[in-house]
Structure 1
Amino acid sequence: MEQLPVDSLIRNGFVITMDTGRRCLPNGAIAISGGRIVDVGPEAELLARYRADQVIDAKGGTVHPGFIDTHVHFMNTARGALPDTLETGTMMNVLRRWWDLSDLADERAATMLNCLEMLSNGTTCFLEAGTLKYADAAAEAAAELGIRGFIGDPFLWDLPISDGVYDMSRAARDLDRSLGLLGGQLKRNTAEKEPLIRGCVVVFGLGSASDELLLAAKSVADANGAILTMHQSFDHHDAGADAARLGKRAICHYADHGLLGENMTFSHMNDLDPDEAKLAAEAGVTAVWCPVTSMNLGAQAAKHARHLELRRHGANVSLASDGVASGCRYDVGFQGLVALLGTRAKGDGQQMTAMDVLELATIGGAKAVGMAADLGSLEPGKYADIVIRSTDLPEAHPWSDPVQSLVYNCGSKSVDRVIVNGVLVWADGHPQLVDAAKAYDEARRSHLRMLERLDMKPRWQPDRPQSNGLT
């Protein structure tokens, strides 16, 4: 039989397909051409069927779909700038000032650093949270690295600011301004060549948007086959403020006004009452679970959050790292493990498993970004966004259950190679398309520039102990 030509063939892997049958192939292989998966199956069959320009030996390691981080703020150049004991409101005001004073070079440096970190942890696609002022520069930086992602318009909001909240001078809370920017990033989706970085519709949320702005955003998303994402119901304070302003709970209000649907991706969703949970599940919305942020910022509502209930009743649930000052790491696997352990701490030990973590990180993430037909599993026709894990670590042995090993034991430490769109973008601890040392240097320079602009000092210097304050 004549062999069919393909670009690449991954062989000798324990392939976790995440297809509808959740097939796992102990001696599996994947054929790739044109950035998409051509075939998945037993190694012996694919080696006989295909002739590849490049053969990648997985060395017996786990091979799985790339993780999808469905809510990220690109500002990790702020990492370590703030005391970890800082009150949440004060911390957020400092971060708002950081956003306000950053320039194009700072945002590019932060994007590059964020995306490097995500790739190193097995994330192949991200959903940005609508807090980029220089979206074109950020998109260019992300594409250079070879990661896939979605970017929205910056800081769309129009309701008055709350007392004590820093008012960003470069992102006025104004309806005309927000409507003028709305949907601007969707230009990325009309290119003849399928872009790595696409546009989506983003409204900031958390009680900052009027019905007029939300309805306009939903209309633009619907008309363009895009998702609409926003922060929603993080804790009792913002959920209560929504209820007081709207006269009923927010999700109930959205249901009344046609603001729910499968293209709605709500980040956090910790504080829902039973009626809201039922409506969200019936509409098939996505609830983005940010477990580390909820714990780190002490969200009381998260103790009784309904993410697993939402999932059981028809809503989609995905995982996200959120922001550097709250989510700790841009690492979806870490977020999933914390979510799992959190459910067990609440006595829900039988409700969430290692396979559930993989489902939220892959299939759930693909639905959250509106690409369930193209991402989230290793199946013919889908994009070749693939992670290959190493078994060359003590945590990976004895070799018994690769799914449990990946989630509970090895984590991101085992990420060996990362492929996006059929291209090897991470290997041997380094990005393959950019100079990591240069990116790290730009991030350090940006960090110091921003500290100077905010009249802050580095928190650790050789000649003085760690500071407990902002300066």
Structure 2
Amino acid sequence: MSVKQQVDHLIVNGEIFTGERASPHLNNGAIAVNGNRIVAIGDARSLQERYQSESVTDVGGAIVHPGMIDTHVHAISLGLHSLPVSIDKASASKFSYADVKVQTDDESTDALTAAAAVALLRRGYTCFMEAGTVFETDAFAAALQRIGMRGMVSAPFGWDDVSIFESLAPATITKRLMERAPANRAAVIRRLERELTRNADKDALVTGYVCLYGECSATDALTRDASDLARQAGVLFNQHQGFVRQWQEFEHAKYGISGVQRLHRLGALTERTTLSHMNVMSDADAELVVKNRPGITWCPNNALHRAVHPQDHCRLPWLIDRGVCVSLGIDTTMYHPLGTAGMASLLLSASVGHRLDDAEPFYMQTANAARNIGYADELGTLAVGKRADIVVRAVEDITHTALEQAGALLALSSSQIPVDLVMIDGRVVMKDGRLTATDQTELLRSALRQRRRILERAGASAE
């Protein structure tokens, strides 16, 4: 009789959705985890004959899948959902988002980030990329590390020319915002370099990447410097691009070419680039994307909210068919609930006569998302050698138990199935839907207190 190999964890008797398109589903499967890596995945009976562990979790037929990844989240806004804050303008009854985001400090950022992490974990996300708008990046990192969640962070508001916002959205540019995020090329590069020091630890849960705000807010010089820095550091280069038509037209008028064409001219449109939004693009832009293969983070909820389409044809399904890697982001959740981007992507694709397959939103939030944050070799699928970021859904909900594969993947992408257990980097961070390392109830109470505090401060500063 052969000696069984000892491992740290065994997850058995699961309906496993691997995130691998070639072999997406494993009935009555098991996963062996040692350290922070998956060492085996396969039939539950055969794995139990080969491996043993003091930590065996029999999930009883529950759905098991790789941790989902949101590739475009403005983290602080997760705590502001449904509150009386206007994104673009101030009015008699509302103060602007710009008034709010400058009021954060270490205490509020820590509390709101932690609460946001819980909200994401409870919907099956194990990692997210903060979209370059957190000032207190160390507090952001500390909150995620305390919980055990992955995150990516960059310098806040990477820009050196804010004329587009002064012209088209003046309420987004306040004096206090410009004090905290000066439009200065050298200052932006210094801040970016600081965030990249997080990557010295190869096992760090929170890592740095290079993000510019984009949408014509970076000069050619800053764009070159930032993309060169990303290339030298071996990290992702990201920016907002092609959000709405008027911003696209402003950039074309300023530079004589579109934003995508300018990135191409500057050598910044590569496979290590991810562009967020891309709601508006010309035929020439789309062809450049197909040729150069940058990743795209699609935020369909925002496109619907802004009524970008049908005035501007949604080209994302066309790009997907041509092999462009598209992932999903929820963006600013003051209006857009977490877990709805997958369904919104199907709605938008159908509206342009190019309906995506039911399973596509799942892949856009797993394997595609991992590629679009620069971690295709580490995350996004359940495979031997990859990091053990694993989600187990609650088995008691019969309306979402696995039967038909594509339908199960569609249900997963909507994030409506309750989460039971979450493992990140081989550590169980959530069990029975509750955090294992900290008091989840007190965490939320703290976030609510901090939310009221920054809103009060924002209201006072706006008067």
TM-score range, shorter chain: over 0.9
Please tell me whether the aligned partners of residues 188 and 199 of structure 1 are also in contact (alpha carbons under 8 angstroms).
yes
* Equivalent AA in structure 1 for residue 64 of structure 2: V
Over 3 Å counting, the alpha-carbon distance change for 1:252 and 1:436 in structure 2 is: same
Q: How many residues align?
A: 450
Q: What is the CA-CA distance between 1:355 and the residue it aligns to?
A: 1.6
SS of match in other structure, 1:413: coil
Over 3 Å counting, the alpha-carbon distance change for 1:175 and 1:248 in structure 2 is: same
* Equivalent AA in structure 1 for residue 43 of structure 2: P
Which one of the candidate residues 171, 178, 191 is aligned to 1:181?
191
Residues of 2 paired with 1:101 and 1:207: CA distance?
A: 25
1:171 aligns with 2:181: yes
1:248 aligns with 2:251: no
Q: What is the CA-CA distance between 1:200 and the residue it aligns to?
A: 0.6
Q: What is the CA-CA distance between 1:6 and the residue it aligns to?
A: 0.6
1:401 aligns with 2:391: no
1:95 aligns with 2:97: yes
SS of match in other structure, 2:120: helix
Match of 2:324 in 1: 315
Residues of 1 paired with 2:90 and 2:39: CA distance?
A: 51
Over 3 Å counting, the alpha-carbon distance change for 1:190 and 1:302 in structure 2 is: farther
SS of match in other structure, 1:325: coil
Taking the TM superposition and a 5 Å limit, the aligned residue runs for 1:326-341 are 326=335, 328-331=336-339, 334-341=340-347
Q: What is the CA-CA distance between 1:347 and the residue it aligns to?
A: 2.8
Provide Cα deviations, 1:94-116, integer angstroms capped at 9, x if missing partner: 11111112211111111111111
Which one of the candidate residues 305, 308, 323 is aligned to 2:314?
305
Provide Cα deviations, 1:258-296, integer angstroms capped at 9, x if missing partner: 111111011101101111111112111011011112212
Match of 1:389 in 2: 393
Q: What is the CA-CA distance between 1:88 and the residue it aligns to?
A: 4.3
Q: What is the CA-CA distance between 1:456 and the residue it aligns to?
A: 6.9
Provide Cα deviations, 1:420-453, integer angstroms capped at 9, x if missing partner: 1111112222111221112111111112112221
SS of match in other structure, 2:327: strand
Provide Cα deviations, 1:331-360, integer angstroms capped at 9, x if missing partner: 3xx2112111222233323xx122211111
Match of 1:60 in 2: 61
Provide Cα deviations, 1:36-83, integer angstroms capped at 9, x if missing partner: 100111111101010112111121011111101001111123223216
TM-score, reference length from structure 2: 0.92
Residues of 1 paired with 2:43 and 2:161: CA distance?
A: 56
Which one of the candidate residues 207, 230, 239 is aligned to 1:230?
239
Please tell me whether the aligned partners of residues 158 and 213 of structure 1 are also in contact (alpha carbons under 8 angstroms).
yes
Over 3 Å counting, the alpha-carbon distance change for 1:310 and 1:205 in structure 2 is: same
Residues of 2 paired with 1:31 and 1:453: CA distance?
A: 49
SS of match in other structure, 1:182: helix
Residues of 2 paired with 1:408 and 1:126: CA distance?
A: 20
SS of match in other structure, 1:424: strand
Which one of the candidate residues 102, 113, 119 is aligned to 1:117?
119
* Equivalent AA in structure 2 for residue 329 of structure 1: P
Please tell me whether the aligned partners of residues 298 and 326 of structure 2 are also in contact (alpha carbons under 8 angstroms).
yes
Please tell me whether the aligned partners of residues 155 and 192 of structure 2 are also in contact (alpha carbons under 8 angstroms).
yes
Could you list the runs of 5+ residues in structure 2 that have no partner in the other structure?
Answer: none
Q: What is the CA-CA distance between 1:93 and the residue it aligns to?
A: 7.1
Quote the RMSD (CA, aligned, Å).
Answer: 2.1
1:267 aligns with 2:276: yes
* Equivalent AA in structure 2 for residue 417 of structure 1: L
Which one of the candidate residues 409, 426, 429 is aligned to 1:425?
429
Residues of 2 paired with 1:265 and 1:94: CA distance?
A: 28
Residues of 1 paired with 2:449 and 2:287: CA distance?
A: 48
Please tell me whether the aligned partners of residues 337 and 408 of structure 1 are also in contact (alpha carbons under 8 angstroms).
no
Q: What is the CA-CA distance between 1:302 and the residue it aligns to?
A: 7.9
Residues of 2 paired with 1:343 and 1:74: CA distance?
A: 27
Residues of 2 paired with 1:158 and 1:308: CA distance?
A: 33
Please tell me whether the aligned partners of residues 263 and 370 of structure 1 are also in contact (alpha carbons under 8 angstroms).
yes
TM-score, reference length from structure 1: 0.91
Greater shift after overlay, 162-171 or 194-203? Answer: 162-171
Please tell me whether the aligned partners of residues 296 and 325 of structure 2 are also in contact (alpha carbons under 8 angstroms).
yes
